[in-house]
Chain A
Amino acid sequence: MSKGFFPKLALINIKKNKQSYLPYIISCICTVMMFYIMHSISRNKGLFEMYGGDYIVSILNMGAIIIAIFSIIFLFYTNSFLMKRRKKELGLYNILGLEKKHIGKMMLYETAIIAFASIAIGLLGGMLLYKFIFMLLLKIISFQIPLTFSVPASSVAFTILLFGAIFTLSLLFNLGQVHLANPVELLKGSNQGEKEPRVKWPLVLIGVVSLGAGYAIALFIESPLEALSSFFVAVICVMIGTYALFTAGSIALLKMLKKNKKYYYKINHFTSVSGMIYRMKQNAVGLSNICILCTAILIMLSTTISFYAGQENVLRTRYPQDIIIRYNNANDENIAKINELIDTFKENEEVSVSNAISYRHSTLLTSRDADSFATYEDTENSIYTSISESFLLTLIPLNDFNQMKGTSLTLDDGEVYIYSSKNIYEGSTITINGHAFNVKEASLSSDSDDTMSKTFAQGSYNIIVKDINILNQAAASAGFSYFIGFDVEGNQDTVIHLTDTLKSQLSENVPEAYLESLESERQSFLSLYGGLLFLGIFLGILFMLATTLIIYYKQVSEGYEDKERFEIMQKVGMSKNEVKKSIKSQIVMIFTLPLATAIIHIAFAFKIITKILAVLNLSDVPLFVICTIITIAVFSLIYGIVYSLTAKTYYKIVQ
C-alpha cells in the first residue's frame, strides 16, 4: 500500500463521520482551551503581587485540577460512545480485507489528526482568549494590574502533556476494542442490546435507601458544623441514589405501568412506555451523569453568586467594626501601650473615629456537666470530637461592661450576670473551672444589635464577673484578652494608609496584638469570593458543554434507532402526527428528567446549604433563594435552547 494511504483514509473517515466527530473535536478544543486559560492565568505574576492574590492563585490552581480530571472522564466517555457507533464501519473494513493491524494504523492516524487539531487550535484559541478572560477575572475581583500578554511555557507543556495522554489512552482503549472483537461482532456492534431489560430489585432498593438517606441528612441536620461534615456524605448518598434509581428504578416503574393493562393499552401510553423502557436501558447512565452535572452546576453557581453578591454582608458579620484589635494573653502594661497608640491614631485630622469599644474578656471553650463548666484540657481533640456539646463562655469584668454600656450594675462577691443571645441560662448557680458563683440575673441580651454584642461569640453565655481578678481565677490557665474595636471614616486610601501605619506600630510595640481592618480585608474577601465566582462560571460553562454534548450524542444515536421503528409504525397505521407526538413526548421526558431531578435535589439540599453558608458567615437566606432561583431559570433557558437545537438534528434523522 502506498505511503499516504492511511493518513488519507483517516482523514476521509473523520470527514465522513463528521456528524459525530465534529462535536467531539469542538469539545476537545474547548476543554484544551479552558485548561490552558485556567492554568496560564494561575501563572500570572501580577496576581501574586496583589493583596489577597494568593487566594485567587490557589482557587485557579484548584480549577485547573478540576478541569483536568473532568477532561479525562468526559473525553474518554465521548470516545467510547463514538467507538460504539463506528464498530459496524470498522467491521466492514475488516471484512473487506483490512487486517486488524491496518485498522489499528488507520485509527492511529485518526487519533493523531484529531489530537493535533484539537490541541493546536485549543492552545491558539486559549492564547487569544486569555486576555479577555483575564480581564473578566480582574473585573470580577476589581484588581488593577497591567495586562500583559504572556505565554507561559509551563502551561503549554502541561496542556500538551495532559491531552496527549488522554488521546493516547483513548486510542489504546479503541485498539483494545478492535483487537478483542471478531468482524461479525464488530458488524453487529451498534445493534446490540435489543433485549428487554429486567428489573434489578436490589438496585432499586439501594437507590431508594441511599437517596432517602441523603435527603434525610440534608433535612434533619441542625448543627451548622455537623452540616459541613455531613454534606459530603449526603452528596455521595444522593449520587448513588441517582445512579441506582435512574438505571433500575425507572425500569421498575415503567414495567409496573406496563403490567397495568388498562393504563398500558392506550394510544399515548402504549408506544411511549415500551419505548421508554429501551431508552432508559440505554441512557440511564448518561442521564444520571447529566443530572449530577446539572445539580453541581446549579449549586456551584448559586452559592458563588450569593457569596459574591452578599460579600458586604459577610464582611460585616465577620468584621463588626472597621478596625478590630485582638490581644490574647494580655497584660496591663501592654494594654496601656495599645491604648496610647490608638489615641494617637484618633488624633489624626483626616479621619473620624466612632463607636469605639474596648473590654477585657476571656473566652473559654468548655464542656458542660449540669451547672458546672470546665475548659477542655486537650483542646486539639475536643474541638473536633464534641463540638456540638461544647459551650463557649465569654467572661467580662463588671467594670468594663458598665463602662461600655453606660450602666451602673453592681455585683457582690461570688455573683455573676449571665447574658445569652439564644437560650437563657436556666440554673441559679454556675461553676466555672471549679469556681462556684450565684447567678444574680440571667437574661437574653435584649439589645443584640448593639456593637458590643456583635463582637461576642455567637450562641454562647456571656458572663459578667465582679472584677478582673475573679476573671483570671475562673479562666484558669487561659488568661484574659483585650479587645478594641472602632469605626473609621475618611478617604479610603488615607484610612488604609493610616491603618497600615497603626498596624506596623502595633507589631513593633506589642507583637502579640493582632489588627484586622475591614478596608484591607475587603480586597482579600473580594479576591476570595470573586475568584470563586470566576471558577463557578468557568466550570459552569465546561459542565454545560459536557451536558450539551452528551445530550447531542444521545439524540443522534437514538435518532438512528428510532427511524426504523417509526417507519414501521407508520406502515401499520399510525399517522405522521401521532408518530410526531409520540416522539416528542418521549424526548421531552428524557430531556426534562435530569433537570427536574436536579431541581428536586437542590430543593432538598437547600436547608443544609444555607446552614453551611451560615458557617461561612453568609446568613442572608433570601439573597440565596433569589440567586438560586435566577440560576435555575437561566440554566433551564440555556438547557431548553440546547434541547431544541439537538431535537432538530433528531427529527432530521428520523424523517
Chain B
Amino acid sequence: MAILQVNNLKKIYTTRFGGNQVQALTNVNFSVEEGEYVAIMGESGSGKTTLLNILASLDKPTGGQVLLNHKNIAEIKEKEISAFRRKNLGFVFQDFNLLDTFSLQDNIFLPLVLSGKSFDEMNTRLQPIARKLEIGDILNKFPYEVSGGQKQRAAAARALITHPKLVLADEPTGSLDSKSSGHLLRIFSDINTDGQTIVMVTHSTKAASHAKRVMFIKDGEVFHQLYKGTMTNEQMFQKISDTLSVLTTGGEVSE
C-alpha cells in the first residue's frame, strides 16, 4: 500500500515583484510504500529541498498532488496542518534544530507535549527509543553539552517518538563526522527494519547507499531510480557513484 503518493507535482517560485519565475519542480511523480527507505539525490538546485518542504507541508505546491495516507496535504486547513504534521510526520534536519533552552529529554518530548500527552505516557514511549538510539544516559544534558552525533540522535528520537507514518530526513549526516554518520545511518537502517518508513534527502553517496531505493532528481524531475535489492552497501555505493558521474556528465544512462 502506498503511504505517500506524489502526482504531477509542480512548484514555481515567483520573485517578489512578479518579475522572474523559477521552476523548481517541473513534474514529479513517485510513490513510497509502507516500510520503504528511500533516498532522494540530486545536485544543488535540483529541487530536492523544495520537494522535501512540500512533503513536509511547510510549503505549498503550485500544481499536482501529494497524498499522504490517501489524504491530500494541500487540502488540509491551515489550522489543522500543525497537528497533522505532528501526528504523521517526523523530521530530522541537517542542523539538528534542537532548542537550546530545553534538555535533550524535553526536546524529544516537545511534539508530544504539543499533542497534550501526559508525562507518564511520554516517559514510557521514550524508554525503548532512547535505548535504541543509545542516548539513555545523556537525556538530562543540554544540546550545548553533547556532540553533534548525539544531538542528531536526539533529533531522530524526537522524530520517532510520535510514531509517525513517515520520517523525513534532510541531509541528516550533513553536519556529522564520518564515525557519527556511520552510527546514525546504522540506526536508520535498524529502525527501517523495524518497519519505519523513511524518506531521506542527501548529497552523500554513503548515506544514500544505506537506502533501499535511490531516486535521482534533475531539473525538477525524477530522472532515474535505483533499487538496492540484494546488493551490499558497498555495491550500492559503487552503483550510485556511477550513476552520479553519468548524471553530471550528462550522458545516457543504461540500466
Instruction: List A residues at the B interface (Cβ < 8 Å).
Output: 194-196, 261-262, 265-267, 270, 274-275, 277-278, 565, 568-578
Query: Closest chain A residue to B121 by CB distance?
Result: A265
User: Is the Cβ of B110 less than 8 Å from the Cβ of A265?
Assistant: no
Query: Given the known A-B contacts A196-B142, A265-B109, A578-B114, are A571 and B93 also in contact in the complex, defined by CB atoms under 8 Å?
Result: yes
User: Is the Cβ of A265 less than 8 Å from the Cβ of B122?
Assistant: yes
Enumerate 15 A-B pairs (CB-CB under 8 Å) in ascending A order. A195-B142, A265-B117, A267-B114, A270-B109, A270-B110, A275-B101, A565-B99, A569-B99, A571-B56, A572-B110, A572-B111, A572-B158, A573-B86, A575-B79, A576-B82
Give 3 nearest A-B pairs by CB, closest first: A573-B86, A575-B82, A261-B119
Q: In the complex, how many residues of chain B place their beta carbon closer than 8 angstroms to a beta carbon of chain A? A: 31
Query: Closest chain B residue to A270 by CB distance?
Result: B113
Of B82, B93, B102, B158, which is within 8 A of A274 by CB?
Answer: B102
Of B101, B114, B122, which is within 8 A of A574 by CB?
Answer: B114
Q: Which of B82, B102, B109, B122 has the most CB of A within 10 A?
A: B82
User: Is the Cβ of A572 less than 8 Å from the Cβ of B97?
Assistant: yes
Distance in angstroms from A269 CB to nearest chain B CB is 9
Query: Given the known A-B contacts A265-B119, A572-B91, A573-B114, are A578 and B101 also in contact in the complex, defined by CB atoms under 8 Å?
Result: no
Query: Closest chain B residue to A269 by CB distance?
Result: B113
Distance in angstroms from B87 CB to nearest chain A CB is 8
Is B144 engaged at the interface, CB distance under 8 Å to the other chain?
yes
Chain B residues within an 8 Å CB radius of A277: 101
Chain B residues within an 8 Å CB radius of A278: 101
Chain A residues within an 8 Å CB radius of B113: 265-267, 270
Chain B residues within an 8 Å CB radius of A265: 109, 113, 117-119, 122
Chain B residues within an 8 Å CB radius of A194: 100, 142, 144
Query: Closest chain A residue to B117 by CB distance?
Result: A265
Chain B residues within an 8 Å CB radius of A578: 82, 114
Distance in angstroms from B234 CB to nearest chain A CB is 34
Chain B residues within an 8 Å CB radius of A571: 56, 58, 91, 93, 97
User: Is the Cβ of B144 less than 8 Å from the Cβ of A195?
Assistant: yes
Known: A261-B119, A571-B91; 18 extra A-B contacts, CB below 8 A, are A265-B119, A265-B122, A266-B113, A266-B116, A267-B113, A270-B110, A274-B101, A274-B106, A278-B101, A569-B99, A571-B58, A572-B97, A572-B110, A572-B111, A572-B114, A573-B85, A573-B111, A576-B82
User: Is the Cβ of B110 less than 8 Å from the Cβ of A569?
Assistant: yes
A274 to B86, alpha carbons, bound, how many Å?
Answer: 21
Chain B residues within an 8 Å CB radius of A575: 79, 81-83
Query: Closest chain B residue to A567 by CB distance?
Result: B97
Chain A residues within an 8 Å CB radius of B82: 570, 573-576, 578
A270 to B79, alpha carbons, bound, how many Å?
Answer: 21
Query: Closest chain B residue to A274 by CB distance?
Result: B101
Query: Closest chain A residue to B159 by CB distance?
Result: A572
CB-CB contacts of B89-101 with A at 8 A, as 1s and 0s? 1010100011111
Q: Which of B58, B85, B122 has the most CB of A within 10 A?
A: B85
Chain B residues within an 8 Å CB radius of A565: 99-101
